[in-house]
């Protein structure tokens, strides 16, 4: 059973995924590299997803382990603290390859719990 808290967190994660997907519309790597506002927006939303993931219950993370929650939290830390520099290739790859499947999985979880 999905707790009210975990469901709320998933809904927020979905919202941040959608924001990233909106930013990616019509955006290729060259445009991404040149647009600091887009890069900032995508980083902010990835950071928010990672922060939200840190608040999911341990039970939830164990049951719905298809997503690499630990790596999502780690990506948040890399963006938040910089650790020297942000690897824009990694951010772009995460945004273009991982966000849509994450959103879809979170949506599946919510639908399956009704």
**DSSP characters for 64-88?**
STTS-HHHHHHHHHHHHH-TT---H
Contacts of 11 (CB under 8 A, 6+ apart): 110
Look at residue 103 and tell me whether its pLDDT is greater than 90.
Answer: yes
Q: Is the pLDDT of residue 114 over 80?
A: no
pLDDT in tens, 7-23: 999 999 999 999 999 99
For residues 11 and 64, the answer to whether their CB atoms sit within 8 Å is no
Mean pLDDT of 55-68: 94
| Domain locations along the chain | 4-112
Angle ∠(23,69,61) on CA atoms, nearest 5: 130
Tell me the C-alpha distance between 52 and 72, whole Å.
10
- Does this model's pTM top 0.85? My answer is yes
- Please, what is the average pLDDT of the chain? 94
pLDDT for the residue numbered 1: 78
Summarize the confidence of residues 82-93 as an average pLDDT: 85
């Amino acid at each position: 059973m999905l707790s009210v808290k975990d469901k709320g967190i998933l809904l927020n994660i979905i919202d941040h995924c959608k924001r990233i997907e909106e930013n990616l519309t019509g955006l290729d790597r060259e445009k991404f590299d040149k647009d600091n506002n887009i890069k900032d927006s995508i980083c902010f939303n990835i950071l928010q997803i990672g922060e939200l993931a840190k608040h999911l219950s341990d039970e939830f993370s164990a049951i719905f382990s298809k997503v690499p929650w630990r790596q999502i939290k780690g990506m948040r830390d890399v963006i938040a603290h910089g650790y020297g520099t942000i690897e824009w290739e990694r951010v772009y790859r995460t945004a273009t390859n991982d966000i849509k499947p994450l959103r879809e999985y979170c949506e599946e979880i919510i639908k399956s719990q009704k």
